[in-house]
Amino acid sequence: MKYKDWLQQWLMFSKPLLKVRTFERYAKFIDNQIIPKLGGFELSALSAPVLQRFATEISEKYAANTVKCIVLLIKRSLKSAQQMNVVRRQYGDGIRFKAVSAREIRCLSLGDQRKLEDYIFARNEHKLFGILLSLYSGLRIGELLALKWEDIDFTNDILSVTKSCHDTYSDGKYVKYIDSPKTPSSKRKIPLPKQLVPYLKALKKSNVSGFLIEGKGGKAISVRSYENTFKVVMQRLDLPYTGFHCLRHTFATRALECGMDVKTLSEILGHKNAAITLNCYTHSMPEHKSAMMNKLGKMLQLKP
């Protein structure tokens, strides 16, 4: 059997187990990167040298995360072929590639955050409130744009994250697709700062679409469109633009600076465990760590 034929079969077998966005991403990698180079090989001809040459070649063309995903697809598809007796032996497990470097955590300085907040309050646009909400809740952009008013418990001031959204290309344009959250731990309840609640209540009165964040006339907002809105705002303020996710990083950093414990922050962010939160954020706070160490050092009784 040709590898391209098996890949298509394997992808269909896997589809019920994958989120829509993940399936679309896998299909794109298979069609654009894997099949053109390896699809014509018989499964039995995918030797260790053939696979390693391919991995080395794509490592020179694509980002490390892209290479990691492509190699993972190859490994999983070949392992499945072996488990289902389509091929007797496979060499995917032996593929080596450069490890993905940890991403630098970028967040807004306190001064830049204040500048952004002042702009949002001055403009008083419904759509821009999502930026402020993300700054004070740590929401991912997909979680933010999937929020509906029934996800807000105004009695207890609790925001429930039960879904997310992403863009899918349909009829020549990007449209919003509602899906389950990124991971099971992403389903969570976030206590809202009491200072935000009056703004939310005011927004609800003029809402048309049912989504918390909407465009003019209740128009639905795609992830791509909202990311671009944020980019334009940052450009107008002459602030460094590093993507909407920097708001989540900013929230986490400010929370730790305020003394929030890592376990609580981990639950609010929807991380699987506190170790993930520690790995992501504690190295980005040298000033805070120094202050805490100096506070501890006050216990030292100096002798003359």
Across the beta sheet with 158-161, the strand order is 152-153, 158-161, 188-191
* 11 falls within a domain: yes
Provide the residue range defining the domain that includes 193: 110-290
Integer Cα distance of 20 and 23 in angstroms: 5
CATH code of the domain in which 133 resides: 1.10.443.10
Pair (176, 248) in one structural domain: yes
One domain, residues 275 and 145:
yes
101 domain residue, yes or no = no
- Does any domain span residue 86? yes
**Sign of the C-alpha dihedral computed for residues 175, 250, 276 and 73 taken in this order:** positive
- Same domain? 259 vs 166: yes
- Report the alpha-carbon distance of residue 234 to residue 227 in Å, rounded: 11
Q: Is the pLDDT of residue 63 over 60?
A: yes
Same domain, 7 and 85: yes
Q: What CATH number corresponds to the domain at position 45?
A: 1.10.150.130
Q: Are residues 194 and 226 in the same domain?
A: yes
- Pair (87, 157) in one structural domain: no
Distance CA 287, CA 178 (A): 40
Indicate whether 64 and 133 sit together in one domain: no
Is 146 a domain residue?
yes
- Phi–psi pair at 18, nearest 5 degrees: -110, 150
> 120 falls in which pLDDT band (50, 70, 90)?
very high
Co-location of 146 and 87 in the same domain: no
Task: For residue 216, give both structure tokens.
Answer: 């003019």
Residue 147 CA to chain centroid, in angstroms? 16
pLDDT tens digits, residue range 217-263? 888 888 999 999 999 999 999 999 989 999 999 999 899 888 898 89
Between the alpha carbon of residue 137 and those of residues 2, 132, 141, 181, 241, the distances in Å are 49, 9, 11, 16, 20
Kind plus residue range of the DSSP H or E element containing 120: helix 110-123
Overall average pLDDT of the 76-87 stretch = 94
Q: Which residues of 117-133 are buried (b: 16+ CB within 10 A; e: fewer)?
A: eebbeeeeebbbbbbbb
Domains held by the chain: number? 2
Question: Based on the domain organization, do 81 and 127 belong to the same domain?
Answer: no
Are 203 and 152 part of one and the same domain? yes
- Asked if the structure places residue 99 within a domain, the reply is no
**pLDDT higher than threshold 60 for residue 284:** no
Residue 123: inside a domain, yes or no?
A: yes
Distance CA 267, CA 188 (A): 7
Quick: pLDDT tens for 11-53.
999 998 888 888 889 999 999 999 999 999 999 999 999 999 9
Residue 55 φ then ψ, to 5°: -60, -40
Q: Which of 61, 94, 127 is the last residue of a domain?
A: 94
Looking at residue 165, the DSSP 8-state letter turns out to be E
**Model confidence, pTM:** 0.76
For the residues of 46-107, what is the DSSP string, one character each? --HHHHHHHHHHHHTTS-HHHHHHHHHHHHHHHHHHHHTTSSS---GGG---PPPPPPPP--
Shared domain check, 260 and 115: yes
Q: Please indicate, yes or no, whether residues 157 and 66 belong to a single structural domain of this protein.
A: no
Whether residue 295 lies inside any domain: the answer is no
| pLDDT, averaged across the chain | 89
94, 119, 151 - which closes a domain: 94
Whether 119 is in a domain gets the answer yes
